[in-house]
């Protein structure tokens, strides 16, 4: 078979007889001389055909044909080297050629950058993946997995698989459901995450566990969400927050070093949830930019603007001067997505803006110095309750920063001290903000809104990469948290009985984290969609365009499962 790959040959191989196999990337026919670019995963090598017989044979070939070429490596004449190819210093003068597999004309041209639409790319994913840029991402994915596996294995972590077919719980995301053949009317559920299993492994004395875990969630999709995605899932016993954060900082540093050759600074910045919200208006702030939100409640209340006078909180963000059109767009955005109104003041030669007339010269001066404004600036205000005013300005901030050049390329940080519960006006009860296994930082639960947890979220460039916590290892406390979260005793016993029982047999203190591998890879490869780094992704509606899933199944099988279809949507 082949003696070399298509990315391997160099000037030093001149004179060698070689055999290459690969796909025809392009044929350039000059009549009495023909050039073929032969492609495989490793690169492209130019093959030269100079004899009539071979040229005749090659006329049958087309793009994407798989061929074998035997020939002699020759250094290219000077001036005919191709500097954009690693193999551009040489070419292979063919002496024999063999067709291994023909190809129909592909539905799109397999070349970077791709022009075909997503729909077509996904239908013919195996062709899309042939492109060098896609191959590069597959390689990166493999390198990322290897780096993490080596890093964690060297630190005594055991790689252990946990079940995908598991129990349906009503907590959290909607489950994908798998009917049981042996027990008609009963169902498995595909695991949303290995959370409970990894805690059970700690109770089992595994001490340190990790896994590249597929997680299944039947929720609506986004650019950074897929119905099945992969998490770097890990858990360790006898640890506190710092142990896990230090471990992850080392791991992420190794990833950046191995994959991008970039050294990143550790330890990462730490922000409490409260500070992240106050400063950036987000619990996953993009801190690559020095644009901050300020509290101007005390000053703005002194204005004559009724909305401000009556508001609980008034938050502001100072940005380079915006045009009226920009501001109108931002206002519309804020109203549409957050149902919040924003006001503005523009500090230029004169003060302008829709609330300018409510600010006396003294008051605007006070504001100007409070916000350290120099030069021309626009200040956007949002008045309202604490969370909404901040989230609105946070979203506005992100929108303004789109397309701006960040001062650093990658900004990793931790967000800590999340509240464990949030009041749900609809159900009139306390809802767990994240998951119910996080260790609270207090044992006083009189006001659940004040309870924060030993939780730490890892954020990269405004994307939530992962979330982890120290877990509850005490049954009584665990039951207490479930109770505050409004879970009935009956449901608790049905869905978590086995787990609560496990907590009574010597559960060690433990904690861990789960990091979204696809999201990490998306950012490392500079992509904006998770679909780009998943080999075979689903569409936003969860369909597989290539294999055509989901699909109907035969009546026979439905019968076996004891299922009848009553409604088709």
Partner RNA sequence: GGGGUCGUAGUUCAGAUUGGUUAGAACGCUGGCCUGUCAAGCCAGAGGUCGCCGGUUCGAUCCCGGUCGACCCCGCCA
Q: Which residues are annotated as a binding site?
A: 171, 217-219, 226, 434, 464, 471, 516-519
How many Cβ atoms from other residues are within 10 Å of residue 552's Cβ?
Answer: 9
Q: Which helix (H) or strand (E) holds 71?
A: strand 66-75
Per-residue contact flags (x/-) with RNA for residues 315 to 354, judged by CB under 7 A: ----------------------x-----------------
How many Cβ atoms from other residues are within 10 Å of residue 412's Cβ?
Answer: 21
Site size toward RNA (CB under 7 A) is 65
Stretch that binds RNA, among 212-220, 286-294, 355-363, 518-526 (CB under 7 A): 212-220
β-pairing, 208-216 with 158-159?
parallel
Strand partners, 344: 380
Give the nearest distance from C-beta 150 to RNA in angstroms: 27
Per-residue contact flags (x/-) with RNA for residues 103 to 122, judged by CB under 7 A: --x-xxx-----xxxxxx-x
User: Which listed residue (434, 475, 480, 491) binds RNA by CB under 7 A?
Assistant: 434
Give the nearest distance from C-beta 509 to RNA in angstroms: 19
The interaxial angle of helices 489-502 and 195-203, nearest 10 deg, is 40
Per-residue contact flags (x/-) with RNA for residues 27 to 66, judged by CB under 7 A: -xxxxxx-x-x--------x-x-x--------x--xx---
167 binds RNA (CB under 7 A): no
Q: Which is nearer to RNA, 258 or 419 (CB)?
A: 419
512 binds RNA (CB under 7 A): no
Annotated binding residues for L-aspartate: 171, 217, 434, 471
195 binds RNA (CB under 7 A): yes
Give residues 440-479 in contact with RNA (rule: CB under 7 A). Answer: none
Give residues 229-268 in contact with RNA (rule: CB under 7 A). Answer: none
Please state, in angstroms and rounded to a whole number, the distance separating the CA atoms of residues 142 and 150. Answer: 12
Give the nearest distance from C-beta 506 to RNA in angstroms: 23
Considering only the C-alpha atoms of the chain, give the largest distance between any 2 of them, rounded to a whole number of Å. Answer: 91
Please state, in angstroms and rounded to a whole number, the distance separating the CA atoms of residues 78 and 523. Answer: 40
Strand partners, 432: 421
| SS3 of the chain: helix, strand, coil, percent, to 5 | 30, 25, 40
Please state, in angstroms and rounded to a whole number, the distance separating the CA atoms of residues 360 and 342. Answer: 20
Among the listed residues 217, 226, 222, the one whose alpha carbon sits nearest the alpha carbon of residue 193: 217
Please state, in angstroms and rounded to a whole number, the distance separating the CA atoms of residues 361 and 368. Answer: 10
Interacting residues toward RNA by CB under 7 A: 26, 28-33, 35, 37, 46, 48, 50, 59, 62-63, 76-77, 80-82, 84-85, 88, 91, 105, 107-109, 115-120, 122, 171-174, 192-193, 195, 217, 219-225, 337, 431-436, 528-529, 531, 539-541, 543, 545
């Amino acid at each position: 078979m082949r003696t070399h790959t298509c990315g391997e040959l160099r000037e030093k191989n001149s004179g060698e007889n070689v055999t290459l196999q690969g796909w025809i990337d392009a044929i350039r026919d000059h009549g009495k001389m023909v050039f073929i670019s032969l492609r495989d995963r490793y690169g492209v090598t130019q093959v030269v055909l100079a004899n009539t017989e071979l040229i005749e044979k090659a006329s049958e070939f087309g793009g994407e044909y798989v061929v074998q070429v035997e020939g002699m490596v020759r250094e290219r004449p000077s001036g005919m080297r191709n500097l954009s190819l690693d193999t551009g210093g040489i070419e292979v003068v063919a002496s024999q050629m063999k067709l291994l597999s023909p190809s129909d004309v592909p539905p799109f041209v397999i070349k970077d950058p791709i022009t075909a639409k997503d729909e077509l790319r996904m239908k013919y994913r195996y062709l899309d993946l042939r492109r060098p840029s896609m191959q590069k991402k597959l390689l990166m994915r493999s390198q990322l997995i290897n780096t993490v596996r080596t890093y964690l294995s060297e630190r005594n972590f055991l790689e252990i698989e946990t079940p995908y077919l598991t129990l349906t719980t009503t907590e959290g995301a909607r489950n994908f459901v798998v009917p049981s053949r042996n027990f008609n009317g009963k169902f498995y559920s595909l695991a949303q995450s290995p959370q409970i299993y990894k805690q059970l492994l700690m109770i089992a004395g595994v001490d340190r566990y990790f896994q590249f875990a597929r997680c299944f969630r039947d929720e609506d999709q986004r650019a950074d969400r897929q119905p099945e995605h992969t998490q770097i899932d890990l858990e360790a016993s006898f640890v506190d927050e710092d142990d896990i954060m230090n471990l992850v900082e080392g791991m992420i540093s190794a990833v950046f070093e191995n994959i991008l050759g970039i050294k990143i600074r550790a330890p990462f910045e730490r922000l409490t949830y409260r500070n992240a919200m106050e400063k950036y208006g987000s619990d996953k702030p993009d801190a690559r930019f020095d644009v901050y939100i300020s509290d101007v409640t005390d000053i703005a209340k002194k204005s004559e603007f009724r909305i401000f006078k009556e508001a609980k909180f008034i938050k502001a963000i100072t940005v380079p001067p915006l045009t009226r059109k920009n501001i109108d767009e931002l206002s519309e955005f804020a109203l549409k997505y957050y149902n919040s109104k924003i006001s503005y003041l523009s500090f230029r030669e004169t003060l302008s803006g829709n609330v300018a007339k409510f600010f006396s010269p003294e008051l605007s001066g006070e504001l100007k110095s409070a916000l350290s404004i120099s030069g021309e600036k626009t200040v956007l205000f949002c008045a309202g309750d604490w969370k909404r005013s901040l989230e609105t300005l946070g979203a506005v901030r992100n929108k303004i920063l789109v397309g701006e050049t960040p001062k650093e390329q990658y900004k990793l940080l931790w967000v800590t001290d999340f509240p464990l519960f949030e009041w749900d006006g609809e159900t009139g009860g306390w809802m767990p903000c994240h998951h119910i296994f996080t260790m609270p930082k207090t044992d006083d639960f009189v006001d659940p809104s004040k309870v924060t947890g030993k939780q730490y979220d890892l954020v990269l460039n405004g994307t939530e990469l992962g979330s982890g916590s120290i877990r509850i290892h005490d049954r009584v406390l665990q039951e207490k948290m479930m109770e505050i979260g409004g879970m009935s005793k009956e449901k608790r016993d049905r869905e978590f009985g086995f787990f609560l029982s496990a907590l009574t047999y010597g559960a060690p203190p433990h904690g861990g984290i789960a990091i979204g591998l696809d999201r990490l890879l998306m950012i490392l490869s500079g992509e904006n969609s998770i679909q780009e780094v998943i080999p075979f992704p689903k569409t936003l509606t969860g369909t597989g365009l290539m294999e055509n899933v989901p699909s109907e199944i035969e009546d026979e099988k439905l019968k076996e499962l004891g299922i009848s279809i009553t409604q088709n949507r």
